[in-house]
Chain A
């Protein structure tokens, strides 16, 4: 990827916001100011300099990564990006849940690449709070799609409890039992 694919608008926690982030490829110099996204390979190569910047720094993971590669870098990073080269490749959902639920990443988690409105509901459930939609896609449609369902059966990054641990009836029943 060359200098930036930076897009004017993204969804941040469901709100349309300006995209301050810019992607820097593995060979170009990284400016010390501004918010930049670098690849995992770049991060692993240039970690000392990248950790010393004035601006914010994010690392991009690809589908073949697991998320564990960054487990020791959480303090140094401001955002983690997961790339979806094809929307039919669902590995990024697993990476997101692992980062959120098992490794404990609390800061921003961004989905980018082939991100389409009909996938954002699941992305949000897996822990993505920043959604950089594919450039030709409508942010408004995506915004609506975030609330496609008001109930979910499973727990995920948004709420680890499956429906059976959220049911008021269930709570009442166990309260009675005790």
Chain B
């Protein structure tokens, strides 16, 4: 993984000092709250219903064991003993005191971490595939490009006061686990007809009140031009994006307003002026950054896929189910990537205790190469585990209550903070997720239904990504009562689509039964081996509606 050099370390050290000074000037009254707000936001400090929330950047989700141990330490020392994994692969703390934040940042800086640009109207932390570097079908490891983007966007002097937040995601695999089509800019590593590697560039994806799937503006961009092209897009957005209405300020609205062709022309015109300048990436720089992501020292192992297939026949049904759902084929024979879901009955989705952080950090040392990745669905991944050690790892995870076999299953729910924490909410999200988990967590049910995503948002701002859940749940307020709208057929993967509303909103005490009936409907409607999403797409929502609204 990427290790800081002296320049990176200097920049982060100077950032801690700068923010320390800004907090002092805020506390002394030299800066007003209004003026302080963008400063604290660009340091990840966000005001929630009850307290500040601090969002720590985890570049493209990648952590060392030492860093995860440090996150546990922060949770214990300055928070209530837990943290929260976000859908953009970051870590959030819900209860820090403002005056402790400079201390937290200093503690993070010691392990090459920070909270730079995790909030506010700037370029946010770049996200990526949690199986980057190990996925079998991957064309090329996206992490070096994420890191180049991280450096380019960090304290970019021109783009610190954009019309609105700006999110970039990169995938190097045809299977999209990074949700690139719902980002302001989505980047896919592709190969052109001449066999050269480069990027396809998509713009204008996003959820919120105006959900949009990103549109492609360039089929092939040579690698050396990555940063200048991004700069051209950002420049067009900075100048032309709307600033009069925050709900119309994202780039997707600009792309809609201009039309994708005019938008592309504007970008290409800006780009023509800078593409051959100093931003062109040098071969040395591409090689220097790529070197940080060279594969670890894999052993040459026998057995590979056959060994894994054999283990799935294990008489221990829970272990076998876990292998089926949580273990992903690896590009190196004899290894697998393992997802550790932190979602089980009684836990708010994405929350993780300091003890669990420490435990996973330690397991990653023993069973992997001391690396952990936070996934877009708010779980953790150890990317390199020997297949012959999977059973031992699972036994330890199970003893920690982290051995749940539910990655991409019905209880692997994404839920926004909702009414419990968020001042904009119409309805609660987390308790609905917990009630659904309670109902659906039995192994027979999870295995019977198979691959499924459920995403819950507490209002139309869509932080819980309900539009792109296979089942989306949206909280609405009906004269002070919490109601929920169901949507079916959304996806944020390579086959991205927005879900369709199933029918009238459902009262809170009936929503779990309704979701249960959606699953029953699927089981009676599906063809052999057909995923939930494919079934909805084939039969349409009407057949489901008849079976859900009874």
Contact = CB atoms under 8 A, between A and B. Distances in A.
B154 A153 contact: yes
Name, among A122, A153, A156, A161, the residue most crowded by chain B CB atoms within 10 Å (CB to CB). Answer: A153
Nearest to A144: B21
Given A141-B30, A170-B288, A154 B157 contact: yes
Name, among B15, B35, B158, B243, the residue most crowded by chain A CB atoms within 10 Å (CB to CB). Answer: B158
A154 B157 CA distance: 8
Interface string A84-126: 0001111101100100001000000000000010110111011
Interface residues of A, number: 42
Interface stretch (B86-94, B159-167, B209-217, B410-418): B159-167
Interface in B26-56: 30-31, 35, 38-39
Contact of B14 (A89, A149, A173): A149
A122 B152 contact: no
Name, among A125, A155, A177, the residue most crowded by chain B CB atoms within 10 Å (CB to CB). Answer: A155
Contacts of B314: none
A121 B190 CA distance: 38
Nearest to B282: A164
B interface: dominant SS: helix
B282 A94 contact: no
Given A151-B11, A162-B152, A156 B282 contact: no
A153 B157 contact: no
B75 to A, nearest CB: 29
A163 interface: yes
Contact of B238 (A91, A145, A169): A91
A121 B282 CA distance: 27
Interface in B338-371: none
Interface in B215-264: 227, 235, 238-239, 243
Q: Which size class do B's interface residues fall under? A: 35 or more
Contact of B11 (A122, A126, A153): A153
A102 B22 CA distance: 34
Contacts of A160: 277-278
B10 interface: yes
A126 B274 CA distance: 15
B121 A88 contact: yes
A146 B239 CA distance: 25
B277 A93 contact: no
Given A89-B243, A116-B35, A153-B11, A164 B281 contact: yes
Given A87-B161, A122-B157, A155 B284 contact: no
Interface in A148-178: 148-156, 160-165, 167, 169-170, 173-174, 177
Given A90-B238, A164-B285, A153 B152 contact: yes
Contacts of B11: 149, 151-153
B238 A173 contact: no
B510 interface: no
Contact of A165 (B31, B121, B158, B282): B282
B161 A90 contact: yes
Contact of B38 (A88, A94, A126): A88
Nearest to A114: B35
A174 B151 CA distance: 21
Contacts of B288: 164, 169-170, 173
Given A87-B35, A102-B273, A170-B288, A150 B239 contact: no
B279 interface: yes
A155 to B, nearest CB: 5
A174 B284 CA distance: 7
Contact of B151 (A125, A141, A163): A163
Nearest to A118: B39
Given A93-B157, A163-B151, A170 B10 contact: no
A154 B30 contact: no
A5 interface: no
Contact of A148 (B18, B25, B156, B279): B18
Contacts of A94: 158, 235, 238-239
Nearest to B277: A160
Nearest to B6: A151
Contacts of A173: 284, 288
A143 interface: no
Given A66-B239, A88-B38, A170-B285, A153 B279 contact: no
A138 interface: yes
A117 B156 CA distance: 17
B158 A118 contact: no
Interface string B269-304: 000011001110110110010000000000000000
Given A151-B11, A164-B285, A90 B158 contact: yes
B155 interface: yes
B157 A125 contact: yes
Contacts of A93: 157-161, 238
Contacts of B278: 155, 160-162, 165
Contacts of B7: 151, 153, 163, 167
Interface of B: 7, 10-11, 14-15, 18, 22, 25, 30-31, 35, 38-39, 121, 151-152, 154-162, 227, 235, 238-239, 243, 273-274, 277-279, 281-282, 284-285, 288
Smallest CB-CB A-B distances: 5 pairs = A90-B161, A125-B157, A164-B285, A122-B157, A153-B151
Given A94-B235, A148-B18, 13 more contacts: A90-B159, A126-B157, A126-B158, A148-B14, A149-B11, A151-B14, A153-B151, A153-B155, A155-B279, A162-B279, A164-B288, A173-B284, A174-B284
Interface of A: 66, 87-91, 93-94, 97, 102, 116, 118-119, 121-123, 125-126, 138, 141, 145, 148-156, 160-165, 167, 169-170, 173-174, 177
7 contacts: A91-B239, A149-B18, A149-B155, A150-B10, A152-B155, A153-B155, A162-B152
